[in-house]
Amino acid sequence: MAQDDRTLKFYGQEAIAYTSRCLKPNLTYIEAFLSALPVGSVILELGCGAGQDSEFMISRGFDVRPTDGTFEIARAAEKRLGIPVANLLFADMNEEGAYDGIWAHACLLHVPRADLPGVLAKIRTALKDGGLFYASFKAGETEGRDRFDRYYNYPSERSLREWYMAAGWAEVEISAEIGGGYDQMPTDWLHVTATK
Ligand code: SAM
């Protein structure tokens, strides 16, 4: 199924508060991602939330297709960006060779652990050969829920490497960083960049 209904319910109910925060892209990773792609490249953003990352990529001259699986969040991002934001669940991705890049910041961490390799394979299929895929995860060893009832898959670097490999990815780079989240707790993050 690749989605958690309680998590989507949280985002639906909190859409206004969640998308009204003053969020900035993680410049280290978004700049590195964009610098590896020619200006004008077609980029799919998954789980775009408020839309700040799509906004940044558009401002740099990229052809961005923002999407989010929560209807209310997609509408809020659409209002901010002034372009269509598709209400797309990860599980419903069915394109082949359509994108130069796929950006998934802090969203695939909501995919139930057993379903992640299948979603990673769909993403690989949706990319052109040589395309770039970025995703970030809260690091850990297990699955669980936060105080907002959101489901999280907290993977180790080793688990991530296994799941990416199972989904057909050969070139995978992972780096670790301490950051934060909506719960305002210090969090260990894993940033994964993979090339098709
Ligand atoms: N990428 C944005 C950012 O970094 O600010 C938003 C991150 S927020 C933690 C996770 C986003 O993933 C939410 O906007 C939520 O609606 C979306 N999401 C959660 N489960 C999803 C699913 N199964 N399919 C598509 N989007 C999903």
Per-residue pLDDT tens over the stretch 22-43: 889 999 999 999 999 999 999 9
- The full set of domains in the chain, from first to last, is 5-195 (3.40.50.150)
Task: Please state the atom number of ligand 1 nearest to the C-alpha of residue 52.
Answer: 5
Question: What is the residue-averaged pLDDT of the chain?
Answer: 95
pTM listed for this prediction: 0.96
H-run or E-run covering 29? helix 27-35
Confidence of residue 179 (pLDDT cuts 50, 70, 90): confident
With both helix axes pointing from N to C terminus, report the angle between 5-13 and 71-81 in degrees, rounded to the nearest 10. 50
d(CA 83, CA 14): 22
Calculate how far, in angstroms, residue 107's C-alpha sits from the geometric centre of ligand 1. 4
- What ligand 1 atom has the least distance to the C-alpha of 89? 24
ipTM of the complex as predicted = 0.99
Q: β-strands 151-153, 171-179: how paired?
A: unpaired
Confidence of residue 2 (pLDDT cuts 50, 70, 90): confident
How far does the centroid of ligand 1 lie from the alpha carbon of residue 47, in Å?
A: 4
Residue nearest to atom 14 of ligand 1 (CA): 49
